[in-house]
Chain A
Amino acid sequence: DGGITQSPKYLFRKEGQNVTLSCEQNLNHDAMYWYRQDPGQGLRLIYYSQIVNDFQKGDIAEGYSVSREKKESFPLTVTSAQKNPTAFYLCASSTRASGGYNEQFFGPGTRLTVL
Chain B
Amino acid sequence: SQQGEEDPQALSIQEGENATMNCSYKTSINNLQWYRQNSGRGLVHLILIRSNEREKHSGRLRVTLDTSKKSSSLLITASRAADTASYFCATDVRGSTLGRLYFGRGTQLTVWP
Contact = CB atoms under 8 A, between A and B. Distances in A.
A104 B45 contact: yes
Contact of B100 (A58, A99, A108): A58
A6 B42 CA distance: 10
A43 B103 contact: yes
A96 B50 CA distance: 15
B20 to A, nearest CB: 19
Interface in A20-72: 31, 33, 35, 40-45, 48, 50, 56, 58
Interface residues of A, number: 31
Interface of A: 6, 31, 33, 35, 40-45, 48, 50, 56, 58, 88, 90, 92, 94, 96, 99-109, 111
Interface string B83-101: 0000010101000111111
A109 B106 contact: no
Interface in B45-83: 45, 48, 50
Task: Name the residue in B43, B50, B90 with the highest tally of chain A Cβ atoms < 10 Å from its Cβ.
Answer: B43
Contact of B50 (A50, A99, A105): A99
Interface of B: 3, 30-31, 33, 35, 40-45, 48, 50, 88, 90, 92, 96-101, 103-106
24 contacts: A33-B100, A42-B104, A42-B105, A42-B106, A44-B103, A48-B98, A48-B100, A50-B99, A92-B43, A94-B99, A99-B30, A99-B50, A100-B96, A101-B99, A103-B33, A103-B45, A104-B33, A104-B45, A104-B90, A106-B35, A106-B43, A106-B44, A109-B40, A109-B41
Q: Ordered nearest first, which 4 A-B pairs have the shortest CB separation?
A: A106-B42, A101-B99, A100-B30, A103-B45
A109 B42 contact: yes
Contacts of B43: 43, 90, 92, 104, 106
Contacts of A48: 98-100
A41 B105 contact: yes
B48 A102 contact: yes
A100 B31 CA distance: 8
Given A104-B45, A108-B41, A109-B40, A45 B100 contact: yes
